[in-house]
Every structure is written in structure tokens, then in C-alpha cells.
Amino acid sequence: MNPARQKPNPDSGTMKKFLPFFYLPAAALWTACAPEPAITDAQPETRIEYPRDAHSLSVPSEVAVRHLMLNLRADFDRNVLSGSAAYTLEQNGGDTLVLDVRGLVVDSVFTTNGEGERMPSAFDIAEGNERGDALRIVGVSDAELAEVWYTTAPDAAALMWNTPEQTHDKKSPFLFTQGQAILTRSWIPIQDSPAIRITYEAEIHVPEGMMALMSASNPTEKTSDGVYRFEMLQPVPPYLMALAAGDFSFAPLGERTGVYAEPGLLDAAAYEFADTEKMLETAEALYGPYVWGRYDILVLPPAFPFGGMENPRLTFVTPTIIAGDRSLTGLIAHELAHSWSGNLVTNATWDDFWLNEGFTVYFEKRIMEALYGRDYAEMLNVLGYTDLKETLAYLGPESPDTRLKLDLDGRDPDAGMTDIAYEKGYLFLRWLEELFGRENFDTFLAEYFSTHAFQTMTTERFIEYLDERLFAFTDPRPDVEEWIYRPGLPETHPVPESDAFDKIDAFREAWEGGEILAQALPVGEWSTHEWLHFLRGLPESTDADALAAIDRAHGLTGRGNSEIAFAWYMIAVRNDYRPAFGALEKFLTRVGRRKFIKPLYEALSENESHKAWAREVYREARDNYHSVTASSVDEVLEG
Ligand SMILES: [Zn+2]
């Protein structure tokens, strides 16, 4: 009965043309030098069966878009993009092309038939819901091409037009997009479902002196006229369409890797991300060739709502991971891992989000372990496990949102972006690894990625694949349904353990018990992770003198390391430790990363006087947040 559980046709064979490349024996893949894939025509030969997607009004089973040609001008005075989006069409027997739109002003629509005749086309916009409307273009059954001329809204949900003051160098404005989960429709009329895959080319016009970048082939130098051309020859889901424009410089990090940042931030960024090429090689050694050509990173302004976004060929990252000591680069391993889990094999709907994120966290931790050792990776795993336990407590053990397979019908898919998809998903894969042994599980995963490259995956199809490839000779069959369809954590779940953290626990207890003074804690030897474990292990209520003593001894208020600062401010709010509130206000005003901002506002909302103060701060800060963060905080403070 649950239509979201409808199975896609496993024989859809979307990418038959890739088979010679991906069907090399796994051992050969692992030693391959990862050539640029020779892709000349990524259009499928057979019709795809599209799963029902509760978050898209498009009807690709009638007419689907296959290739997008974008021509847009960025107007930094009006904060709008305007121009055209043209699509080649896949005719599946319908007469109407339906595109998701949100807040777009559509001027005109044209279609071109097989004889090359271009003519204006009738269209209307059918009102949908707060997540978007449907642009309907009728009479397209013999059209090869459709073309939409439009302008975005100044407050388009995907776009953030940072003023120079909101950037690092404070010289140039900075535009960036955030497409995931369903925001691409606010800057491109598109069939905005992860089950859709398109190739694209684009011509982007920005003011002279600025550089434009996309999730595509990118320039490394500015052009003299502000016109940039892009090509993405591998088919990607619309949520991975990305654009940024600003004053960028480029620094290579390795043969296939590099970083873009504002000039004043470039050296720090290049230092922080120096291991990126090694991460890429490590990832390939684990699960097969990197197929996207280059892997570059773009550092965004602090308003970016996420830690990172895995836009193909060009990961977008928050500047809050530039800690000066390379301690937060697990995030780069995470975004890089998405080049396989998510970008290559994509969740079919947002209910299957754990297939993107659980796999990616697992892969990320394997990269970190290969590069920095098991002890290091286990520290990260314990921190992730702590996050998960907090999330489970927050949502409640019986909450349906603690199941891996979600039911987001009627809700913003953003609601599914919790630690469940990430950390419970990770533990599930770790549990499989421990059941079947690392070697077997690695072979299974490498094959999973190569077999389903450039395809979408539902939870149900993945279970079938487990049955076929991993469980065939296993008796009794592992109870994966308990992990996937039931709330909470199965009793037999793996528990990460870290000796380094056990030592931190001992120091914390000694300090709490008055056996050692704050200044005697050996923090000189502590990594960011050890600090985080120390702080997060403090009891709910800690006495103000103790907080003042540790703050005096180790300067926690105003810390430049965003993770440590965040953990400390949570403690400060819980315990009404006022000396930290000035720095907290600055943090809330400068940073827009939702992972930090939302919990801080939530903690502040638990006390009426804090809440009044938080509302004051938010009045000033809101303009510095992307819509993703602002709408989350709106909910917190309105409630
Ligand atoms: Zn991710």
C-alpha cells in the first residue's frame, strides 16, 4: 500500500554504455589510475520507471527532461538570476511537460519540434503547496526541445546573495546556491526529484571581475568579460546543480584536486585541505575509481547552512572547518565519499535518504581510518555515536523518524536530515561489516557502487541486493528489517570505543571531583576531538565557579575552533554562564551553519529570559542566515 515502497524496474539499465568500464574485475579497478571516463552520450536507451516522489509535482513518466542548457545572468543589484533553461525531452507517451518551480516568474515558453520549428507554447502554473508549484507546458508530444524564459525571486530559497560585509575579504558580493533537498526548483524550473538524472551545459554571466563556478567543468582564472561556460557530461540529479559567483582564487592541492576561496582565505584553506589528494587516492583504493574527473573544494561564506555540500566536481564547504590544525577535515572525506554514495548511486526519494548518508558516513570513516589510524577513526565514531544517542533521546525511542526508511510524505524532506540517516545508517553498515568481515563487505560495497553507477536506489531494492549478494549463504538471515523499518537501535548494535576518550573521561572525573585543578588538565596534548569529548561529557548542570575556572585556564569563550566553541556555548546556555554570552552573540550573528545555530537557539528557548535575548540576537542575525537555517530557527523561536 505504501506507494513510496514501489520498486523501480531493476532492469532499467540506464547506463548500459558504462558497463565495459565499470564491469572490470574489482581488483583491476583498485589499481587503475582512474582515467576520465570516456562519456560521449549519457542518454539512456531504455525507458526508466520513475518511483513515486512525494516531493515533486513533475510527471517524468509522461515526459522527462534529459539534458539541460542553462543561460543565466546574475544581477547583484536586484538579487535575481534571469535567462533561459532549455531541455531535450524524453517522450514517454504524455503530452504535458511538468516542471517543479518555486517563486519563479516565467515570461515565456517555446518548443522546438523534430523539423527544427521553434514556436511559443502555452503554459500555466498550477498551485501546489509551500514546497513548490507545477509549471505545465502542454502539447509537447512531438517536441524535441522545450525552453523556459524566467527570473528568480529575490528571496529564492536556494540562493544566498551575500553582501561584501558577509564575506571573508569584505570586497565583493558572493552568490551561492544550495539545491538539496528540493530547492533547485527555486532557481531552475526542473523535474526536481532525485530519481531524475540530467546532463547539463551552462553559460553564466556575472559582473566583470567576478568568477562563476558550477558543479561541472570549471575555470581556474577569471575571464575578462564575466562570461563563463560549463559542461557536466555525467548525468546528475537536480539537487546537485550548483552555482557560485564571487571573487575567487584557485590553488591546486594535487594532480586532480584543488581549492577555490576568496583571495584572503586561500592560503589558510590550501593548508587546511592539504590531504585532499591523499583522501581521493585512499577512497579509490577502497571502493573503485573516482569517475568525475576533478575534485575541487569551494570555501563559502559563514552563512552557508551546512558543513559541506557534495556538488559533483566542486564540494561547497563552510569556512568553520578551517581550524588551522586540519582537525575538522573529516568533512572533506565525507563530501568526497559522496562521489560514490549519493552522487553515483543516488537515493530514489528523500525517504531513502539514509542510503546517501549512512553509506557516506561509513565510507568517510574508512577513509579517515586508512589515513590516520584506527584510534583516530574511533574517536570520530564515538562522537558520532554520542550525537546519535542525543538525537534518539530528542526524538523519542518510538518515533517513526528514528527508522532508517522514512515517511516524509506531506513534510519538507529537510525533516529527514537528522543523525538517524547519518549515524544509525553508519552503525548499520558497521554491523554488516562485523558480521561478514571487512574483506567480504568491502568487495560487496565496491560491487554495489559499480553495478549501480549513475542509477537511483530504493531501500527495498538495496535489501534485495543484500539478499542476492551478501546473504545468499547466510543462515539465519540477518534481521535488516529491524534496523531499517523499526524505530530506535537494535540491541545488537556495535558500540564504538576509544581508549583515548577513556583517558579523557578519567581526567574529567578527577576535575569534577576536585582531585585536579582546571589548569592542571593536560590540554596541550588534546586534539579537537578530545576537547569535544571532554565538554560533551560534562553533567547537565555544572557550577558557575567551575565553568569560570576552566574558561580562565583554557580560554574557551571566543575560541576560533567552531566545534569547540559550539560545545562550550551549549554548556554556557544550559548553566546560564553569562561571561560567554557576548561571544555567543557574535557567533550567532557571524555563523549560519545550522548544525550549530539551531541547537543553540533551542537551548536558549528553554528559559524565558534567554529566549527573549535570543529573539533580540536573531533580529540582527537573521539576514546573515541562508533560508534553510532561517526557516529552522523561525520554527524554534515561534514555538
Ligand atoms: Zn552527507
Domains in the chain: boundaries? 3-27+340-485, 52-247, 538-638
In the reported structure, the alpha carbon of residue 405 is separated from the centroid of ligand 1 by a whole-number distance in angstroms of 16
pLDDT band at 397 (very low <50, low <70, confident <90, very high): confident
Burial class from Cβ neighbours inside 10 Å (0-12, 13-18, 19+) for residue 539 reads exposed
Cell readout for 220 is 581556474
In the reported structure, the alpha carbon of residue 412 is separated from the centroid of ligand 1 by a whole-number distance in angstroms of 18
Average pLDDT over residues 87-93: 96
Tens-digit pLDDT profile for residues 419-474: 999 999 999 999 999 999 999 999 999 999 999 999 999 999 999 999 999 999 89
**What sign has the CA pseudo-torsion 380, 305, 190, 205?**
negative
Chain centroid to CA 144: how far? 33
- Tell me the CATH number of domain 538-638, given options 3.40.1350.10, 3.40.50.2300, 2.20.25.90, 1.25.40.320: 1.25.40.320
Average pLDDT over residues 609-613: 97
- Tell me the CATH number of domain 3-27+340-485, given options 3.40.50.410, 1.10.390.10, 3.90.1150.10, 3.40.1110.10: 1.10.390.10
Helices in 234-275 by DSSP H: which ranges? 266-272
In the reported structure, the alpha carbon of residue 361 is separated from the centroid of ligand 1 by a whole-number distance in angstroms of 7
pTM for the complete prediction? 0.92
In the reported structure, the alpha carbon of residue 576 is separated from the centroid of ligand 1 by a whole-number distance in angstroms of 33
pLDDT band at 46 (very low <50, low <70, confident <90, very high): low
In the reported structure, the alpha carbon of residue 300 is separated from the centroid of ligand 1 by a whole-number distance in angstroms of 17
In the reported structure, the alpha carbon of residue 93 is separated from the centroid of ligand 1 by a whole-number distance in angstroms of 36
- The secondary structure element, H or E, covering residue 71 is strand 63-75
The reply to whether domains 3-27+340-485 and 52-247 share a CATH topology is: no
Q: What whole-number distance in Å separates Cα of residue 49 and Cα of residue 285?
A: 33
**Is 90 exceeded by the pLDDT of residue 8?**
no
DSSP-derived letter for residue 190 is: B
**Is 80 exceeded by the pLDDT of residue 22?**
no
Burial class from Cβ neighbours inside 10 Å (0-12, 13-18, 19+) for residue 99 reads buried
Q: What percent of the chain has pLDDT over 90?
A: 92
Q: List the catalytic residues.
A: 335, 422
In the reported structure, the alpha carbon of residue 594 is separated from the centroid of ligand 1 by a whole-number distance in angstroms of 14
Average pLDDT over residues 581-606: 97
Q: What whole-number distance in Å separates Cα of residue 327 and Cα of residue 595?
A: 17
**Is 80 exceeded by the pLDDT of residue 183?**
yes
Instruction: Write down the pLDDT at residue 1.
Output: 34
In the reported structure, the alpha carbon of residue 422 is separated from the centroid of ligand 1 by a whole-number distance in angstroms of 8
Reference 160, options 168, 152, 170; nearest CA is 152
- How many angstroms separate the Cα of 174 from the Cα of each of 163, 178, 213, 235? 7, 13, 11, 27
In the reported structure, the alpha carbon of residue 526 is separated from the centroid of ligand 1 by a whole-number distance in angstroms of 27
Average pLDDT over residues 310-329: 97
**Is 60 exceeded by the pLDDT of residue 130?**
yes
Between residues 23 and 490, the one the model is more confident about: 490
Per the rule left: phi > 0, alpha: psi between -120 and 50, beta: everything else, 595 is alpha
- The secondary structure element, H or E, covering residue 527 is none
Residue pair 580/557 in contact by the 8 Å Cβ criterion: yes
Q: What whole-number distance in Å separates Cα of residue 282 and Cα of residue 276?
A: 10
Tens-digit pLDDT profile for residues 503-555: 999 999 999 999 999 999 999 999 999 999 999 999 999 999 999 999 999 99
In the reported structure, the alpha carbon of residue 130 is separated from the centroid of ligand 1 by a whole-number distance in angstroms of 25
Tens-digit pLDDT profile for residues 259-301: 999 999 999 999 999 999 999 999 999 999 999 999 999 999 9
In the reported structure, the alpha carbon of residue 419 is separated from the centroid of ligand 1 by a whole-number distance in angstroms of 11
Cell readout for 501 is 576518550
Length in residues, the chain: 639
Which residues fall inside 5 Å of ion ligand 1, going by CB?
A: 357, 360
Does the domain at residues 52-247 carry the CATH identifier 2.60.40.1730? Answer: yes
Q: What whole-number distance in Å separates Cα of residue 1 and Cα of residue 391?
A: 30
Q: What percent of the chain has pLDDT over 70?
A: 92
Average pLDDT over residues 190-196: 97
Average pLDDT over residues 198-223: 98
Q: What whole-number distance in Å separates Cα of residue 101 and Cα of residue 138?
A: 16
**What sign has the CA pseudo-torsion 465, 466, 470, 475?**
negative
Mean pLDDT of the chain: 92
Tens-digit pLDDT profile for residues 321-346: 999 999 999 999 999 999 999 999 99
Q: What whole-number distance in Å separates Cα of residue 508 and Cα of residue 512?
A: 6
- The secondary structure element, H or E, covering residue 160 is strand 159-162
Chain centroid to CA 537: how far? 28
